[in-house]
Amino acid sequence: MWYPDTFFLLRGNHECRHLTDYFTFKIECRHKYTELVYDACMESFCSLPLAAVMNKQFLCIHGGLSPELQTLDDLKKIDRFREPPTHGLMCDLLWADPLEEFGQEKTNDLFVHNHVRGCSYFFSYHAACQFLERNNLLSIIRAHEAQDAGYRMYRKSKTTSFPSVMTIFSAPNYLDLYNNKAAVLKYENNIMNIRQFNCTPHPFWLPNFMDVFAWSLPFVGEKITDMLIAVLNVCSKEELAEDDDQKLLEDKPLVDDAEQRRIVIRNKIMAVGKMSRVFSVLRENSERVTELKSLSPTGKLPLGTLALGMEGLRTAITTFEDAKRSDLENERFPPTREIKEQMMKEETDNKLRTAVNEQDELMEEVADTMLE
């Protein structure tokens, strides 16, 4: 709005209702502002252009090429004022990627199904070169993929000796996890410069604007039940046997009353064990949706939020490639939020049922020891 003649934004794959609802943008808008602000953002996203040609030399797009994109005129035929579809030209402009072995392909196919994204295509070096020659362009400038150095230059075109594709990624330390640099491309007077920069510290917050007290309750509950178990397990079998002998000498209770009392005590002990396991499940869920840096000895964030659950918390991310591999799940075209929430609910319910119903040998041993 401040620079309408010199500053232009292009639409990316996240600028849609589906992804803003699946991730956190919608929640943040509703928490900080109102639903009207969110709807206004969605309307503006649908108005963003999908592509731009810079200096009649560079095609700028978010994702990549499409088998349906032959000439630049094809871009003008797209109805962009809508939610992106799951296939077709508009989808490919937002979701496509260059092949990982770009320029050294082992296939003659120009386009290959993009299994990483779950939609769209990987495009090859030959597909890029043919498109550039057909449209008299120099290079394709795109984003969509985090880069360790903030940018990547792909194989040069044989006709121009200029990189056929350039990826520019301008988010430093992506997700507070990748520890990557960011880059911006400056093109002025036919001179191209790439400037890199690092991230700056920012305050930490819990996901979904959860307060720390609600988040910490499962941890507190688990510790309290651990304390109860420790109290119950403080005596050895020999000490309990001596106490029982003295008790029997002093006063012999009726057999039925004693047996009933043993059953009640045993049930209480086993209930403490169930509480401990239930709080453990809730605590694991809290860990899975948080990104507490203190959990990692390296100071980097754990993998808990990357759909890897507790396994992620046991592994510290040490390299950019580790972070990229761990985040593959979030790079795919996501299911609906309802499906995601249903899956998480079913997973938690199953864990809770298991925690309540499973046999606890440790607690049974404690109960047997106390009641012998």
The pair of structure tokens assigned to 92 is: 């490919």
If DSSP codes are grouped into helix, strand and coil, which group holds residue 155?
Answer: coil
- Distance CA(17)–CA(84), nearest Å, equals 9
Q: 41 and 29 in contact (C-beta within 8 Å)? A: yes
- Distance CA(115)–CA(333), nearest Å, equals 10
- Distance CA(312)–CA(304), nearest Å, equals 5
Backbone angles phi, psi at 339, to 5 degrees: -65, -40
Backbone angles phi, psi at 312, to 5 degrees: -65, -35
Cross-strand pairs, 194: 185
Amino acid identity, residue 369?
Answer: T
- Distance from the Cα of residue 118 to its chain's centroid: 16
Active-site annotation holds for 14: yes
The neighbour count for residue 234, using CB atoms within 10 Å, is 9
Q: 302 and 176 in contact (C-beta within 8 Å)? A: no
- Distance CA(48)–CA(12), nearest Å, equals 9
Whole-angstrom CA distances from 297 to 134, 201, 213, 294, 317 are: 53, 18, 24, 7, 10
Q: Please say whether the dihedral angle defined by the alpha carbons of residues 37, 42, 45 and 46, taken in this order, is positive or negative.
A: negative
Q: 69 and 89 in contact (C-beta within 8 Å)? A: yes
Active-site option among 14, 18, 87, 126? 14
Q: Please say whether the dihedral angle defined by the alpha carbons of residues 270, 271, 277 and 280, taken in this order, is positive or negative.
A: negative
Q: 305 and 288 in contact (C-beta within 8 Å)? A: yes
Q: 14 and 54 in contact (C-beta within 8 Å)? A: no
Name the residues annotated as catalytic. 14
